[in-house]
Amino acid sequence: MTKHELEYQEHLLPLTREELVARLREALSPKRFAHVCRVEQTAIQLAEQNGVDVEKASIAGLCHDYAKQRPDQDFIDVIHAKQMDPDLLNYGNAIWHGVVGAEMIKDELGVGDEDILNAIRQHTVGSNYMTKLAQIVYMADYIEPGRDFPGVEAARQITAQDLGAGVAYQTQHTLEYLIHKGQPVYPQTLVTYNAWVPKYQKENH
């Protein structure tokens, strides 16, 4: 079976891969659509290398930025309707499209698998505990072949050797970047930093 004919297991998603791809093409600009396709392929490779369910990696990779181009008001409405943490209202699209976007992915696309939804919730800000699937989506988003920033090659090499070390690398560099730019840091980003970065520093020295 080619990847295009792939029927996802019913309990993961009631759509074929082709139907899901069509939904994403509708929801996203061509550039963003190309990004989610590359994240899917990178996530599948990392799943094969790390013994993780490839179908879950495909679905999570494709869906992770589904909500990225929605207007702010859509997220604000969901935060209120689902009585999510009101502190979310102090942030913006960068945080919302994963944390709040997962709710739209559940309700609008029918993704019911909590492992996939958590990976999507955590794809920007991480978490103290991340499943291998969540680590894969977090890293695939950062190192997909279209990414080009100083350090991306190091991130690719580290991730190929040790997925968790890749998570630590990205978390440290994202926090450095946010601080350098004077951007607000979402509390969970700091939680992720404390859970992952010192641990890998110790192991590497």
State the Cα–Cα distance between residues 98 and 129, nearest whole angstrom.
16
x/- mask, Fe ion, residues 51-70, rule CB under 5 A, reads --------------x-----
> Cβ of residue 11: shortest distance to ligand GDP, in angstroms?
27
CB of 98 to ligand GDP, least distance (A): 6
Which residues in 151-185 are b (16+ Cβ under 10 Å) and which e?
Answer: eeeebbebbeeebbbbbbbbbbbbbeeeeeeeeee
- Would you say 17 or 173 has its CB closer to ligand GDP? 173
Residues forming the site for ligand GDP (CB under 6 A): 65, 68, 94-95, 98, 123-125, 141, 174, 177-178, 183-186, 189
Give min distance, CB of 138 to ligand GDP, in A.
8
Residue 40 engages Fe ion in binding (rule: CB under 5 A) = no
CA distances from 133 to 57, 117, 167, 189 (A): 7, 10, 12, 18
DSSP E strands, 95-143: none
Question: 137-176 mask for Fe ion (x: CB under 5 A)?
Answer: ----x-----------------------------------
- Sign of the Cα torsion 17, 22, 25, 27 reads negative
